[in-house]
Copies of this chain bind each other. A is one copy, B any other.
Amino acid sequence: MNLSPLQKARYEYTPKLPGMLRSGIAEICVAEGSETSSVADQEKIRELFPNTYGKKEITFKKGQNTSTPKKQVVGVILSGGQAPGGHNVVCGLYDALKATDKDNVLYGFKNGPSGLIDDDYLIFDDSYIDQYRNTGGFDIIGSGRTKLETQEQFAIAAEVCKKHGITAIVIIGGDDSNTNAAVLAEYFAAHNTGVQVIGCPKTIDGDLKNDDIECSFGFDTATKTYSELIGNIERDANSAKKYWHFVKVMGRSASHVALECALETQPNICLISEEVAAKKMSLSQIADQIADSVEKRAANGMNFGVAIIPEGVVEFVPEFSALIAEINELLAGSKADTFNALPNWKEKYAFIESGLSKESMAVFAILPETIQQQLFLERDPHGNVQVSLIESEKLFSALVKDNLAQRKAAGTYTGKFNPLHHFFGYEGRCAFPSNFDADYCYSLGYNAFMLIQYGYNGYLSKVSNLSKPADEWVAGGMPITKMMNIERRHGEDKPVIRKALVELDGKPFKFFEANRDTWAVETAYTYPGAIQYYGPAAVCDLTTRTLALEKGE
């Protein structure tokens, strides 16, 4: 294996634990807090989780360890999309487990939750785990998107646990995976398996957070990586002075990533999907807003700029969602065959025109032809439009171009508009974790083992006070059910962890809102540069602007 100099150096890094976990396993005791209730739909959630609902929040403190000695055999699972720091969760878990008793065993189930069902695993030892300390990626055991949600799966999982003598499962995942962890925990309790389940909050999207969970891991590193690139592009724009860069960033449902990148880099434009939905904005309104910035900057001689577009924004535009629904209806079943048989785009267009409502046709008509064709020609196996394939960065730059042509005709705009496009997603999900994520993740894993050792089930590993230095962090746990409510999913009422969207009255958005008119016109770019792992603390230990603002800092 050919290791990079940074990878070798990162092996030497010692992640920082919260102060109360630093005195060694023998000196960690539990303080129980109040009983909890779910954020909404308390009766229904209680009914669905009779064995795990309403348990107490707990905090770890320095003090004599009073847990019952017991050989622990723990299984760990990485679930869903990669997030920087996942390896350190496993390392922290392993270190706490081995420090408690060197005969304890850690299983890693391979390639996501399916590894548990398929009984596909490895057993960690020092030499294996040491290769992954403070590194990015989920390649330590692989990840996967299989969902653990059926009774049949749970029964198999119980069998596999029994076979290996597993005492606890740690699931590292996002909101869906932790919802499933809670259901599995309840199943294990109801069936007296004796197996505990602990979740860890992972997702670069930043949408798994609430009053208890300050942030999910990976969000810090991923947004720092995207912000590095956006800052570099801003500097390029401000040097060449001739391009408008449209930068799409990951985030299908929530715009936390886009907002954090905007707070870090101060671009001319940043769309926020939650605002688009709340204000019921149309495509034209959004394009008009961007074109305003282009026009004002051009009037000051600046025919360049940077706009951040969240990946999922078009799905939040009401008129666009309506159009998609109509297209799906228009091509449902055998109607698609009629459409496909038409010999050319002109005839297809006529078919579309006669099939869409007047309102949706008006929306369709303003789209660039490449996107019009994509909506009709690239459909999923069920015949539905593949909204995730829509290149929204190109869509908006095309709409802005049309808008500017009108302004040019009207004589209000005389500038030049040369757009370039970028999409950043895979570039940040497997970066070496920042010091923050390396520390946070290691602490989450270490802490998860302490929750196991003290016998908790259906809990989320919780580390808070994260905007402060690590020694002031607070470690503990809370019942996953506390974060749940009932939502309609696929026609059924389901208990789920509520996804955290960008709050339009929250401090991060408010700060953005208060500054964006200035940023739209001036060149107020900030250049964060690459993530630093060494050097001054201000450069390498600070976490996100989002968290700092939320904490009022």
Contact = CB atoms under 8 A, between A and B. Distances in A.
A429 B232 CA distance: 7
23 contacts: A2-B524, A3-B526, A4-B527, A6-B527, A6-B539, A7-B526, A7-B529, A9-B535, A82-B235, A136-B232, A136-B527, A137-B238, A139-B235, A225-B232, A232-B428, A232-B429, A232-B431, A233-B427, A239-B430, A344-B345, A532-B532, A533-B535, A535-B535
A530 interface: yes
B3 A143 contact: no
A454 interface: no
Contact of A139 (B135, B142, B239, B344): B239
A79 interface: no
Interface in A1-17: 1-10
Interface in A70-119: 81-82, 111
B534 A535 contact: yes
Interface residues of A, number: 66
Given A2-B266, A231-B4, A530-B531, A430 B236 contact: yes
Interface in A114-134: none
B343 A343 contact: no
A530 B429 contact: no
A141 to B, nearest CB: 9
A422 B426 contact: yes
A535 B135 CA distance: 17
Contacts of A10: 529
A139 B238 contact: yes
Helix, strand, loop or mixed for chain A's interface?
loop
Interface of A: 1-10, 81-82, 111, 135-139, 142-143, 225, 228-229, 231-233, 235-236, 238-241, 243, 245, 264, 266, 343-346, 420, 422-423, 426-432, 524, 526-536, 538-540, 542
Nearest to A238: B139
A474 to B, nearest CB: 25
A136 B240 CA distance: 13
Given A4-B529, A534-B534, A538-B9, A240 B427 contact: no
Given A346-B343, A432-B527, A232 B5 contact: no
Contact of A240 (B82, B231, B266, B542): B82
A236 B9 contact: no
B533 A229 contact: no
A535 to B, nearest CB: 3
A233 B344 CA distance: 39
